[in-house]
Amino acid sequence: MTELKNDAYLRALLKQPVEHTPIWMMRQAGRYLPEYKATRAQAGDFMSLCRNTELACEVTLQPLRRFPLDAAILFSDILTIPDAMGLGLYFETGEGPRFERPIQSKADVDKIGLPDPEGELKYVMDAVRMIRRELKGEVPLIGFSGSPWTLATYMVEGGSSKAFTKIKKMMYSEPQTLHLLLDKLADSVIEYLNAQIAAGAQSVMVFDTWGGVLSPRDYNDFSLQYMAKIVDGLTRENDGRKVPVTLFTKNGGMWLEKIAATGCDALGLDWTIDIENAKARVGDKVALQGNMDPSMLYAPKERITEEVEKILAGYGDTGTGHVFNLGHGIHPDVNPEHAGHFINEVKRLSKAYHK
């Protein structure tokens, strides 16, 4: 069993007692840090950075050198699986990710296979192994993947979308084709996350970024059931320790009870739901992660402190089961000093809730 000097994050996810509310930030290794920008310039482009083991490790560790965070998250991208399926991922300046060969028919779905995590995706596993070594047990490492629905939106739309017309057209006119794709993606995500766990990830998270664009019925059929399949297929213990699983659906506040029923350990919350309300609804079933609006980091430091107080008070004095985070990724133009203030205030103010 690997000795962890700070395992507050893992204990909170498993609803075990902790001395303070652990904190990490989505996209904590990213463009708001000048050192990240320098490393990315060295890599040449985003995917070259993801594929370079040493540089991916370097940017994963950068925020931990600056801030007293309670977890590291693997630096990678949710589109590694579709990229490894041969769809021709590239990044258009100002436009985000694009695919040269989007999925348009059942024939396209039939053509794609499940990528080998230690083959086409070995660069991700190599990064996990190196990060674990370099962390030296200071804090746990989080592995992650996109959800099948979210990956499918990019694969069918050919990139980012606002209206999701292509995938919804497939969903309503050829549901069997979409289910076939989602099933393949769920199998791929299970293999991918289990390989990350075997390589050293101590907790995993599934990002369902676009689940919130679905109706309640379609969310159950096209997103949630595939995340439940992933939860069922994951390695839940490794290296003598439980491996907690967090599910996060952006704009998914109306479905918290259903997400909690999948058997996951924790729910990620965005900022559109009050944490007190979320806790009242899911009770002691799962831990909660979240959920300050990332734009709050633009505010004066006193206002950030006020918001941290409000969220801690909303979760309440139970001593465990809360991981503090933003409700989505940190914005690229946030002042790192404000991020540091946020993290320090969570550490300082949360101790009162863990007596």
Q: Would you list which residues are annotated within the binding site? A: 27-31, 77, 154, 209, 328
**Rounded CA separation 13/323 (Å):** 7
- In a 3-state reduction of DSSP, which class is residue 288? strand
Number of H helices, E strands in the chain: 16, 11
Is there a catalytic annotation at residue 31?
A: yes
Is there a catalytic annotation at residue 270?
A: no
Cα dist from 144 to 72, 258, 262, 276, 309, whole Å: 11, 21, 17, 26, 29
Closest CA to 244 of 252, 253, 256, 235: 235
Determine which one of 9, 32, 36, 154 is catalytic.
154
**Rounded CA separation 148/184 (Å):** 8
Is there a catalytic annotation at residue 293?
A: no
- In a 3-state reduction of DSSP, which class is residue 273? coil
**Rounded CA separation 168/174 (Å):** 9
The answer to whether residues 268 and 206 touch, using CB atoms and an 8 Å cutoff, is no
Cite the DSSP H helix spans in 158-236.
Answer: 165-173, 175-199, 216-219, 225-233
- In a 3-state reduction of DSSP, which class is residue 15? coil
**Rounded CA separation 277/272 (Å):** 11
**Rounded CA separation 219/211 (Å):** 6
Determine which one of 7, 70, 77, 83 is catalytic.
77
Residue reference for tokens 């993290």: 343
Closest CA to 93 of 30, 27, 159: 159
Is there a catalytic annotation at residue 241?
A: no
Q: Please give the single-letter amino acid code of residue 197.
A: I
- Point out the annotated binding site for substrate: 27-31, 77, 154, 209, 328
Backbone phi, psi, residue 200, to 5°: 135, 0
Is there a catalytic annotation at residue 101?
A: no
Residue 72: enclosing H or E segment and its boundaries? strand 72-73
Q: Is the dihedral of CA 294, 295, 298, 302 positive or negative?
A: negative
Determine which one of 7, 9, 27, 70 is catalytic.
27
Determine which one of 40, 98, 236, 241 is catalytic.
40
- In a 3-state reduction of DSSP, which class is residue 142? strand
The answer to whether residues 205 and 158 touch, using CB atoms and an 8 Å cutoff, is no
Which sequence positions are flagged as catalytic? 27, 31, 40, 77, 154
